[in-house]
């Protein structure tokens, strides 16, 4: 009997199923929409309007990829109604204020969006009577970062220095509380809800046009013929291509579908421990892939605190899910730059689906 590839396994789980995605107009959300369509899922997206009419979601005609709902996750009653009307089999919660620097400028809004938006979604699940698997996406920055060389595993103390990181740590506490209080695994036959939290590293990939992110900033600089200004050249981050964590989330959902009690847990998704780069190393690799360009290290700028060192321990996801990163950090950068270069004269949808299929066909 022929062994099924990863894509075929995922199709067996998601084909014909209803999937509710918050934050579907964002960078990661748009990639997930296209993957889920390839897997045959029926998707309902709930999100704010895209920030720019020229962004990724509009570039792939995202409205045609799903049931497209514009809404704010801070609107508890509206969110509840959309969830209950749809009756999803799976939920992927991605909606968030996801930028560290923005969180310093608007801390209260960051907490309101990230923490209370998560609480609102969890609360809506209390009123749904059918089985549902919910994958709640937080961040690698939920851990109390001691700037140590050893990676953090899922049992480490939560914390977060800046408002963004801390708001996401608060999300983890809310997820744990709702799981214990309303969706306890010992009572699964009564509520039929399986809740998991996923923490991934610094995600890169084509289609990210956000402000104050290194790859989008680099692309803008290259297209303008200007040097990139680098703020923290020595900072170490767990860089990974967007397809790696997304495939991990989908594989987790597949496992939750098979055993909703065993996999209602927290999981890290990141690169291999020894495959990490500094910001400066990432920039040099990206410029080599672009074939031209330059950068300058920012001098004498007053900027808020950002962590300089962070690594994730992914042993649990590898052992329990059978997941592992497909891209090396270098390959992730090269694939990302290839997307931006080709997007100048290639349809974004065709380009993105081609990278998705290459990724899954290789596994």
Note the pLDDT tens digit of each residue in 249-293: 999 999 999 999 999 999 999 999 889 889 999 999 999 999 998
> Considering only CA atoms, which of 279, 277, 273, 278 is closest in space to residue 311?
273
Q: How far apart are CA 95 and CA 173, in angstroms?
A: 17
How confident is the model at residue 69, as a pLDDT?
98
Q: In the chain, what is the straight-line distance between the N-terminal and C-terminal CA atoms, in Å?
A: 17
Q: What number of other Cβ atoms are within 10 A of residue 310's Cβ?
A: 23
How confident is the model at residue 160, as a pLDDT?
87
Q: How far apart are CA 338 and CA 332, in angstroms?
A: 10
Q: How far apart are CA 296 and CA 245, in angstroms?
A: 31
- pTM for the structure as a whole: 0.95
**Reported CATH class of domain 13-204+240-272+305-328:** alpha beta
User: What angle is formed at CA 278 by the lines to CA 273 and CA 283, rounded to 5 degrees?
Assistant: 125
CA torsion through residues 45, 49, 50, 51, sign: negative
Contact assessment for residue 67 and residue 43, using Cβ atoms and an 8 Å cutoff: yes
Q: How far apart are CA 344 and CA 349, in angstroms?
A: 13
Q: How far apart are CA 163 and CA 239, in angstroms?
A: 21
Angle subtended by helix axes 163-181 and 117-125, to nearest 10: 20
Tell me the chain's radius of gyration from C-alpha atoms.
19
**pLDDT means over runs of 10, the chain (363 residues):** 85 98 96 98 95 81 95 98 98 93 93 98 97 97 90 94 95 97 97 97 91 89 91 85 98 98 97 90 94 86 70 96 96 96 94 97 91
Query: Residue ranges per domain, the chain?
Result: 13-204+240-272+305-328
Residue 48 CB contacts under 8 Å (≥ 6 apart), including other chains: 25, 70, 71, 72, 95
């Amino acid at each position: 009997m022929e062994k099924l590839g990863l894509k075929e396994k995922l199709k067996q789980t998601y084909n014909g199923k209803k999937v509710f995605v918050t934050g579907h107009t964002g960078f990661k959300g748009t990639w997930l929409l296209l993957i889920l369509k390839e897997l045959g899922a029926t998707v309902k997206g709930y999100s704010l309007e895209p920030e720019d009419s020229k962004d990724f979601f509009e570039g792939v005609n995202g409205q045609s990829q799903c049931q497209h709902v514009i809404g704010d996750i801070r609107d508890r009653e509206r969110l509840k109604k959309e969830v209950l009307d749809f009756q999803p089999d799976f939920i992927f919660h991605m909606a968030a204020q996801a930028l560290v620097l923005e969180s310093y400028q608007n801390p209260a809004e960051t907490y309101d969006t990230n923490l209370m938006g998560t609480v609102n979604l969890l609360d809506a699940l209390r009123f749904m009577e059918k089985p549902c698997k919910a994958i709640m996406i937080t961040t690698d920055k939920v851990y109390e970062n001691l700037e140590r060389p050893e990676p953090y595993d899922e049992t480490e103390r939560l914390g977060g220095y800046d408002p963004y990181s801390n708001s996401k740590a608060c999300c983890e506490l809310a997820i744990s509380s709702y799981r214990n209080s309303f969706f306890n695994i010992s009572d699964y036959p009564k509520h039929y809800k399986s809740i998991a939290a996923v923490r991934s590293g610094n995600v890169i990939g084509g289609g990210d046009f956000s402000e104050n992110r290194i790859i989008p900033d680099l692309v803008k600089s290259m297209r303008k013929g200007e040097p990139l200004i680098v703020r923290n050249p020595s900072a170490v981050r767990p860089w990974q291509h967007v397809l790696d964590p997304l495939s991990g989330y989908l594989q987790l959902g597949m496992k939750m579908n098979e055993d909703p009690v065993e996999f209602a847990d927290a999981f890290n998704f990141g690169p291999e421990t020894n495959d990490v780069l500094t910001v400066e190393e990432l920039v040099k690799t990206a410029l080599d892939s672009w074939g031209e360009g330059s950068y300058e290290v920012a001098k004498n700028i007053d900027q808020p605190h950002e962590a300089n060192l962070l690594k994730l321990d992914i042993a649990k996801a590898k052992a329990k899910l059978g997941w592992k990163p497909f891209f090396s950090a270098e390959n992730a950068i090269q694939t990302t730059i290839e997307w931006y270069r080709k997007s100048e004269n290639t349809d974004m949808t065709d380009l993105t689906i081609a990278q998705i299929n290459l990724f899954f066909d290789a596994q």
